[in-house]
Structure 1
Amino acid sequence: MNRWNISITAWLVLLPLISLIPAAYAAEDTPYSVEQTPAVLALDKAITLAEQSNPGLAQRRAQAEAMSALPSQLGSLPDPMISMGLVNLPTDSLSTSQEAMTQWQLGISQEIPFPGKLALKQQAAAERANASAFMTTEYKQQLIQYVTSYWWQLFYLEKTLAIISTNKTLLKQFIDIAETKYRVGHGLQQDVLLAQLELSKLLNREIELSSEREQVVIRLNTLLSRPTDTPIQLPAFQNIDTTLLEIKPIADILYLAKQNRPFLQQQKHLIAAAAEEKALAEKNLLPDFKVSAAYGLRQGNNLDGSDRSDMLSLQVGITVPLFADKKQKMAISQKNSELKQQHFAYQDSWNQVQADIANYMTQYEQARQQYSLLNTGILPQARQTIASMLSGYQVNKVDFLNLVRAQITLYDYETQLWLSVKTAKTALANLKASVGKDTFYE
């Protein structure tokens, strides 16, 4: 009779726990709650906020606008110079009519570079302006990459904190069962202590993840140019796209990257600018010109009593590359080396882009396969195992230590599931930044 009473008592404690399991796992779909209830921050909204308010991006946009104003300046002739003066004034009388050569003179002069030089200067500046514009786009894509990575990191932390909350509840129920069985003589005190130890470990992990969550919130708010203590709430789980699709082969993605990556396009424009500057250095061996004209107004009379006529002066000057070996030819050598440097820089950048893309694709594919295995195979089996072991523990067919270990293993699998989602989504964000666009799905 006493055995039946003990069994009934254990079942009364165990049944609420078994009924709690489905609700506990369903509760994981609710994001980790915070004390405040801020506006929901979806990923696309976070990206839009970053694009609109990030000061680093605004700085580079302003820099690109400034660079775009250079070509027209460098492609224009130097400003002409107007001069006015009194020429050949005698010092004995300071009279403007005493000497025939004394005159008030008004002149204008214009420097004229050898034909083609201004066009080369303008084209080189235009290429550098285009490079600056592509660098702005590159920074924008890197910004989106960081925002996306932090957003998915926050998603992972909130899902993990929700799982911890669920496991805390279950471990507390385990403790109640172990204590009940211990009181009626069918359990061991070490079972109670073991469950309490595992609960303490979860509490410690919760503290660590909560701190990490606060740090991610600070970093994300900084990218959005908001106060660092602005609370962030993610959308409900059912409104977050966690699907992981297959992507194109690496050859197709590398082709897309070569055509679309802003950093590579910037390098191409820098190569073009260096080529224009080299051509300009070669053209600097040719002379520049200076054309001047002056009108002289004379006063007084000629010996025959007639008025003195005014004077017109015309002059053409030409530069002589007298020190070409030390100056112009050395400049040509310099620009030739700079052009080689830009070609090597492009090749080095392209090699790095290929390595990054291969690395991110490997990360994504591994995480995608892990997610599929955990979601469709391991987790359903682990949950069924836990439910079966709970029933076996009630009739003393399962050791309490194995039951707790199984629950902790399930916790690990659940966190690995969302870690694989975070890893895959972060790899996709990195891949998008490396390619320059996101049309890399099959």
Structure 2
Amino acid sequence: MTKNNFWALCGDSQSADQPCSMTSRIGYLRYLLVLPFLAILPVVADSTKLTLQDAISKAISEDEWLASSLHREEALRALSQGATALPDPKVNLGLLNMPTDSFDFNQEAMTQLSFSISQTFPAGDTLRLMAEKYSVQGDQLPLERDNRRAILTMEVSKLWLTAYQYEQSIKLVLRNKKLFEQLHDVVESSYSSAYGAAKQQDLVRSELELIKLDHRLAELEQGKRSALFKLSQYIQSSSSVEASTPIGLAINSVESLSLSAAAMQIPPSEVLMRRLSQHPMVQMVEARSSIAQVDKALAEQKYEPQWGISLGYGYRGDDLSGNSRADLASLVASVSLPIFSSRNQDAQVKAAALKVEAIVSEKQLVLNELRSKYRTLSSDIELLQGRVELFQRQLIPSYEQSAQTTLNAYTSNDGFFTEVVQARIAILNAQIELLAIRVERLKRLSELNYVLASTAEEVSK
């Protein structure tokens, strides 16, 4: 605030060239120090801001991994459709037993033109099981995409909230900087006035606080830019995230829009485990278990014989006397005898069975980890909410009361300007710390939402 504005508040009877009374100056000083803390209105998001939902939607829609996963699933579905086809038959055409002394086709009775076709049949249900394996592998990929979307939602939420925290901290510091600029003008005016009570050290201290606030703003801006650049790894559009991008919505609006974990009370163990069993990570383990069971069945098919059949026809020419010779037909069946390879087959079946058991144990480990995370995050969220309420109900009001007390003492020439400044800085620090606690709680909620994530199939139900 300029000096002219300051003098104008002294009263209509005072001119800009005539100093106002000390009482008026002190009253205005108190007004400057108290006014910014009377009400902090929520910041309303406009259409140009990158909201949390926008960031999540962009990250999911632009994720190359999800697009790649869709192509991999289509490839596995195609392999599943073609896996039941038999191997291609083999056709043989040959000239047999041609005499090398004359190369006369009719000289020897054994000479013939042979044509044969053969077909092999894989052992047991190998073809059906291979088709089933590709199908189960394809079923696993939608679960991986569900997990990827949940991870993207969590990671983008945390980065967005970090940038949001820096931006809101910048706004708090800017409000206080404006306050200290006005305070500096008042102290400077009081110091230069013949009737002023301000001391030179008060003027120096006010200038120092302005410099410190500028440095603090630079640090916060650096933190915000770093968070936005990290966010840009998930949002590929060059115009979506810039270093100066405003981050959406006030903190109350953020809490209301996204984070779906409502009940923090830990449910009974069996209810929680049923809920966690729908997590994509658990479903992915079950899909891997199904694949391992198919692999075990495939290994067992090697005990079954592999069949083959061959049909042949041999054409013979007339003998040397001109008499015709009978043509020849043949039918051959073949079967493999898994005798010498039984040791290898036993080992493969045993390994496949052990893999199934290992995946079953892995499922329980994933469930235990999710349950532990749920309990830890629920406890953290509850404790952080308690800290928020402590700040709102006790700490910040106490800081404000202390600031008012130091201001009253200073206006009564019974205190020091340094104490007034320190009290106001303490309020700013408390507000920034409260913001940090609330944002940290929201980050814990985003992590809890991931723990409670369900597959798309369960969500549709």
What SS class does the counterpart of residue 94 from structure 1 fall into?
coil
User: What is the 5 A alignment of 1:241-260?
Assistant: 241-243=254-256, 246-251=262-267, 254-255=272-273, 257-260=275-278
| Percent identity over paired residues | 24
Give the match for residue 428 of structure 2: 411
Q: Runs of 5+ in structure 2 lacking a partner?
A: 1-18
Mean CA deviation greater in 96-105 or 325-334: 96-105
> What does residue 367 of structure 2 align with?
350
Could you tell me which amino acid in structure 2 is paired with residue 270 of structure 1? R
Unaligned runs of 5+ residues in structure 1 are 32-36
**8 Å contact kept, 1:178–1:192:** yes
More divergent stretch after superposition (385-394 vs 202-211): 385-394
> Partner of 1:368 in structure 2?
385
Distance 1:408 1:416 in 2: 12
Between Structure 1 and Structure 2, how many residues are aligned? 430
1:13-28 superposed matches below 5 A: 13-19=29-35, 21-22=37-38, 25-26=40-41
Partner residue, 1:53: 62
The answer to whether residue 159 in structure 2 is matched with residue 150 in structure 1 is yes
Aligned equivalents of 1:239 and 1:10: distance in 2? 36
Within the alignment, does 1:394 sit opposite 2:411 as a pair?
A: yes
Q: CA deviation at 1:382?
A: 4.2
Whether contact under 8 Å (1:367, 1:421) holds in the other structure is yes
For the residues of structure 1 that align with 2:91 and 2:346, how far apart are their CA atoms? 34
How many Å apart are 1:397 and its aligned residue?
4.9
Paired residues of 1:81 and 1:109 also in contact (CA < 8 A): yes
1:16 is displaced (CA, Å) by: 4.9
Paired residue secondary structure (2:103): coil
Q: Measure, in 1, the Cα distance between the counterparts of 2:20 and 2:185.
A: 19
Per the alignment, residue 234 of structure 1 pairs with: 247
1:198-222 C-alpha deviation (Å, 9 max, x unpaired): 3333222211111111111112122
Contact 1:114 1:288 in 2 (8 A): yes
Q: Kindly state the Cα deviation for residue 260 of structure 1 after the two structures are TM-superposed.
A: 2.0
TM-score after normalising by structure 1: 0.85
The alpha carbon displacement at 1:58 in A equals 2.3
Q: What CA distance in whole angstroms lies between the structure 1 residues aligned with 2:199 and 2:318?
A: 134
The 5 Å alignment of 1:11-410 reads 11-19=27-35, 21-22=37-38, 25-26=40-41, 29=43, 39-183=48-192, 184=195, 186-227=197-238, 229=242, 231-237=244-250, 240-243=253-256, 246-251=262-267, 254-255=272-273, 257-296=275-314, 298-301=315-318, 307-379=324-396, 382-383=399-400, 386=403, 389-410=406-427
Contact 1:363-1:423 at 8 Å conserved across structures: no
d(CA) in 2 for partners of 1:50 and 1:204? 33
Corresponding residue for residue 34 of structure 1? none
2:272 and 2:371 in contact (8 A); partners too:
yes
Is the alpha carbon distance of 1:309 and 1:288 closer, same or farther for their aligned partners in structure 2, counting shifts above 3 Å? Answer: same
TM-aligned CA distance change 1:437 to 1:185, over 3 Å: same
Q: Which has the larger displacement, 44-53 or 114-123?
A: 114-123
Distance 1:76 1:190, change over 3 A: farther
The match for 1:7 among 4, 23, 28 is 23
- Quote the Cα distance in structure 2 between the aligned partners of 1:67 and 1:203: 58
State the Cα RMSD in Å.
3.3
CA contact (8 A) 1:289 1:317 kept: yes
The range that moved more, 318-327 or 186-195, is: 186-195
Q: How far is the alpha carbon of 1:19 from its aligned partner?
A: 4.6
Contact 1:172 1:199 in 2 (8 A): yes
TM-score by length of 2: 0.82
2:21 counterpart SS class: helix
How far 1:417 sits from its partner (Å)? Answer: 2.6
